[in-house]
Amino acid sequence: MSTNAADPLVALGGLPGVPDAVDRVRKAVDRVYGHRVMRRRSNEITSEAALRGARGSAALSGADWALEEVRRRSDFGTEPEARAVGAALRLTAEAGQLLSIWRQSPLRVLARLHLVAAADAGDAVGRPRGRGEAVDEPLVELPLPDADEVAGRLEGLSRLIIAGGSAPALVTAAIVHGELLALRPFTSYNGLVARTAERIVLIGSGLDPKAICPAEVGHAELGRAAYAAALDGYVSGTPQGMAAWISHCGKAVELGVRESTAVCEALQRGAA
C-alpha cells in the first residue's frame, strides 16, 4: 500500500474504475435493504448471510463444503477442513461483538480474531508472528514479509483506521483485507481473519449495518484463481493493481448482495 496523499485511502478511492465500483456496490446494497422482506424478517436474513459468508470464507481456505453440510454439522473436530469451517463460523459470530473496539484498537481486534479462529492456547495464538516463525497459509503463494516489516505495516494500517477519514467503505475494507493477506501476520488462519476484518469494516462503516451482504460468498464464487490474481495486483502496489483489487472486492460484495436477495425472494415465496 503506497501513496503520497495526505489521506491514502481517499486517494485510492479516486483510482480509475474504483468510483464506479463504489457506486455499483452502494446501489446494490440499497436495493437489498429496500426489499420488502427486510422490513419483517431482517434477523433471518442476517443469520443466513452469516452462515453463507462463513461457508464462503472456509471454501477459500480449502474447506469447500456444501452449505447444507455446514448447516448440519455441530462437531468440527481436529481434521484440517473441519477446523477451518469451525473457525470461519466462530469468526463470523465474533465479528459483530468487536465493532465498537475496531476503530479505537484494530490491532487488539485482529489479535482477538486470531485467538477465536485458532481456538487453542498456544504461544503463537493471538499475536503477530515473530522472527523465524513459520506461517501455515498454503493457498496464498506470495513472498512472506519478515516480522519487522509486518510489525511496521500493521502499525501503519492501525493508524489509518483510527484516523478515520472520508474514504468509501469498500475502499477501506478492501485495503484492510488485502494488507492482511499480503502480510499474513499470524502463524495460521490469516485468510479467515482478513475476510472477517473486511466484514467488520463493511458493517461498522454503515454500508451494511445489518450484515446481510456477505462479501465472502462473492469471493468464493469468483474463485480462488481470480482471488489470487487480484491479490497479486494489490501486492504490486501499482495504481492499476490496487484498483483491480478494490474492484474485485466490490464484485464480491455485489455477489453477496445477490445471494441475500435470493434468500429474501425465497422467504417471500415461503420456500425458506
pLDDT of residue 153: 97
pLDDT of residue 4: 37
pTM exceeding 0.85: yes
Hey, how many other C-beta atoms are within 10 angstroms of the C-beta on 39?
9
Strand intervals (E) in the chain? none
**Residue 236 and residue 260: Cα distance in Å, rounded?**
33
Hey, how many other C-beta atoms are within 10 angstroms of the C-beta on 105?
15
pLDDT tens, position by position, 156-192: 999 999 998 899 999 999 999 999 999 999 999 999 9
pLDDT of residue 112: 97
Residue 119's region, left for phi above 0, alpha for psi from -120 to 50, else beta, is left
Burial of residue 69, with CB atoms counted within 10 A of its CB: 0-12 exposed, 13-18 middle, 19 or more buried? exposed
pLDDT tens, position by position, 101-143: 999 999 999 999 999 999 886 888 999 999 999 999 888 999 9
pLDDT (tens place) for every residue of the chain, 272 residues total: 544 344 788 888 889 999 999 999 999 999 999 999 998 999 999 999 999 999 999 999 999 999 999 999 988 877 999 999 999 999 999 999 999 999 999 999 999 999 999 988 688 899 999 999 999 988 899 999 999 999 999 999 999 999 988 999 999 999 999 999 999 999 999 999 999 999 999 999 999 999 999 999 999 999 999 999 999 999 999 999 999 999 999 999 999 999 999 999 999 988 54
* CA-derived radius of gyration, the chain: 18
Residues 6+ apart with CB under 8 A from 135: 129, 144, 184, 186, 187, 188, 190
- 3-state percent helix, strand, coil for the chain, nearest multiple of 5: 65, 0, 30
pLDDT of residue 3: 44
pLDDT of residue 142: 93
pLDDT of residue 265: 95
C-alpha cell at 210: 445489518
Residues 6+ apart with CB under 8 A from 203: 95, 96, 99, 209, 211
